[in-house]
Chains A and B, each alone.
Chain A
Amino acid sequence: MAKRRPMALLLGLALLASCATLGEGGASRLDLIRQRGSLRCGVSGKIPGFSFLQTDGSYSGLDVDLCKAFAAAFVPETGAVDYRPLTAPERFTALRTGEIDLLSRNTTMNLSRDAAGGNGLSFAPVVFHDGQGLMVPSGSGINRLEDLQGKSICVGSGTTTEQNLNDAFEARGIAYTPIKYQDLNQVVAGYLQGRCQAMTSDRSQLAAARSGFADQGNHRILEEVLSKEPLAPASVGGDQRLADAMRWVVYALITAEELGITQANVQERYAEAQRRPELTRLRRFFGLDAGLGETLGLRDDFVVQVLQATGNYGEIYARNLGPDSQVPIPRGLNRLGSDGGVMVAPPFQ
């Protein structure tokens, strides 16, 4: 204990010092991650398809694969990730106190979370376009929001869902009773026990929760979408190097899908780019020319490391949320821009 106290003091001083210099692009959390040799990633651990603790103790899901992609770029030697399961109310505190390096936990990007005077986070690009929906028992005769007049709705705390629910119902003049729990598991329990006639959450979470029901067929997600929920990884605001690095790792995943580079063929395509100097776009992307990775404070070939670890965005999606996965969610808005979705990446130049 006596030894740890000066350490804590030093850490505190280092933190203060880092704050003073962050604006000038000095010390970054990125250096701390590299020193430690592993990435501390805040996840949920309870949302199948996004981050879910498996029976063998490992984590899986879209959010988890993003943690792996970040780790492959930040600590290419090991690619090690320490997962920290967090509840919705805990997540920002964990980020702010430095308990985790970054958050990859179904987090909706919005103004107040981004703003320096609000939660003061920095968001990476959106990795899943979600929307808040309502799930009802199939035989309940509830087909539209208006049918929920005077009914109870189970809702979780610590999220934007309470506000969205209120905005949607208030605007339509529908009276309702919110039954608010702290945790999604309790929301599900309250709904299944019949306390509420509907439960609300992001549609992805509704689908994930339903995948665990014994009577999946008896529950329906209503067509109406109450909100835009663009889910994005986040880091503490004011650390531009970390934020930039995270941003371009996500863009690398999307660009790789655009270019048809997969986990299986990345080595082959890399070798091809090495051989043929005329493939300038591919060479820049792989870091063979121009040294783009270094300008981010990463290795020039970080794209190769990332794709070897997780594959491109389309592969990550298919693995966790595709038709053959345990939690199938139609790709919808999350298709590439060229396929009618909104997933696009700026050029690697």
Chain B
Amino acid sequence: MSAPLPGRRRWWLQALVVLAALSLLGLLVNNLTVNLIRTGLGLSFRWLSRPAGFALAEHPLPYAPSDSYAWALLMGWLNSLKVIVAGLILATLLGVSAGAARRSANALLRWLAALYVGLIRQIPLLLQLLFWYFVAFLGLPSASEPLSPLPALLRLSNQGIELLGVPLSVEFSAVLVGLSVFSGAAIAEVVRGGLDAVPRGQWEAFRSLGLPEGLGLRRVILPQALPAILPGLSSQYLNLAKNSTLAIAVGYADLYAVSDTTITQTGRAIEGFLLLLLSFLLLNLLINGGMQLLNRVVVSGRHRP
């Protein structure tokens, strides 16, 4: 009969935490209200329907400067989404390959993967983005004499990149490569950790069965490692999405860059940042939801006979 006591104690603790959180929120809202009164500004979102009056270098849907601020912000959000989704795929491929390579039987592969992870994790992402953009991509030859290592498949110039006939801007490419390489190194470590969680016997087992390294990894090791990998992977995915706001440093018209112009032109900083917060919350909830779904599939798959 001693069970209710700890339960009640927990209830008090919870109430205290909720109270603290609420008062902190109240303090913030109060600060905001006081500041808004002090500066003589109320919250208003009417400016969203006014014409933006600035051009965007890239927009997935038709856009003209006479369109509204809301539409311009949506273009920014879609640009962010574009680079984030592409980044998630590329970073996963890179990360899984590098993570698996660190546990490969091949010494050269192991060494290369360790070098990649070690080097990339030591350098701040912003510096890496600036390097990819200003040094690597803008260092390409000009558009009049593009570099075509694989004619018809890939054409590189400092005005733009054509991959399988799809034109990509150098800004998009630099952000994509920068984010993927950076997140790939972090994902490689998550994958390595997951692989290490699989008992050594499993490796020895598939090797002694004569299964090729790649096949054994895919069919025996990875399925067992996935439950350990997924939580770390989700948090790297969320990081990648948030890090995409650094795109403004290399001229990519992502949501943050568009918000930045919007805020300067309208003077509506608080509303602008609120929208920015909500948009990223939405984006990250989407990613989180997707990962949870995947997690459920993987975990339930494991219990199948």
Contact = CB atoms under 8 A, between A and B. Distances in A.
A120 B40 contact: yes
Contact of B251 (A19, A158, A179): A179
Contacts of A147: none
B264 to A, nearest CB: 5
A16 B34 CA distance: 9
Q: Taking chain A's interface residues, is the majority helix, strand, or loop, or is none over half, making it mixed?
A: mixed
A298 B303 CA distance: 82
Given A166-B53, A194-B158, A195-B138, A116 B40 contact: yes
B38 A166 contact: no
B237 to A, nearest CB: 26
B267 A112 contact: yes
A169 B64 CA distance: 13
Given A194-B138, A195-B159, A15 B57 contact: no
B53 A163 contact: yes
Interface stretch (B102-110, B148-156, B194-202, B253-261): B253-261
Contacts of B40: 116-117, 120, 238
Interface in B165-200: 170-171
A96 B54 CA distance: 25
A120 B266 CA distance: 12
Contacts of B54: 162-163, 166, 178
Interface string B51-71: 001111100000001000000
Contacts, number: 97
Contact of B134 (A113, A162, A189): A189
B298 interface: no
Given A89-B260, A193-B138, A193-B158, A179 B269 contact: no
Given A120-B39, A189-B134, A194-B158, A157 B53 contact: no
Contacts of B264: 88-89, 157-159
Interface in B200-215: none
B139 interface: yes
B261 A157 contact: yes
Interface string A131-174: 00000000000000000000010100111101101110110000
B18 interface: no
Contacts of B261: 157-158, 162, 180
Query: Which of B55, B65, B142, B267 has the most C-beta atoms of chain A within 10 angstroms of its own C-beta?
Result: B55
Cβ-closest 4 pairs across A and B: A193-B138, A162-B54, A119-B267, A118-B267
Given A169-B55, A189-B134, 14 more contacts: A16-B34, A89-B260, A89-B264, A112-B267, A159-B264, A162-B261, A165-B55, A179-B171, A179-B251, A180-B251, A181-B249, A189-B138, A193-B158, A194-B138
Interface of A: 15-16, 19, 88-89, 92-93, 96, 112-113, 116-120, 152, 154, 157-160, 162-163, 165-167, 169-170, 176-182, 186, 189-190, 193-195, 238
19 contacts: A16-B38, A19-B38, A89-B260, A112-B267, A113-B267, A118-B267, A152-B159, A157-B248, A158-B261, A166-B53, A166-B54, A166-B55, A176-B55, A178-B56, A178-B57, A179-B251, A189-B138, A194-B142, A238-B40
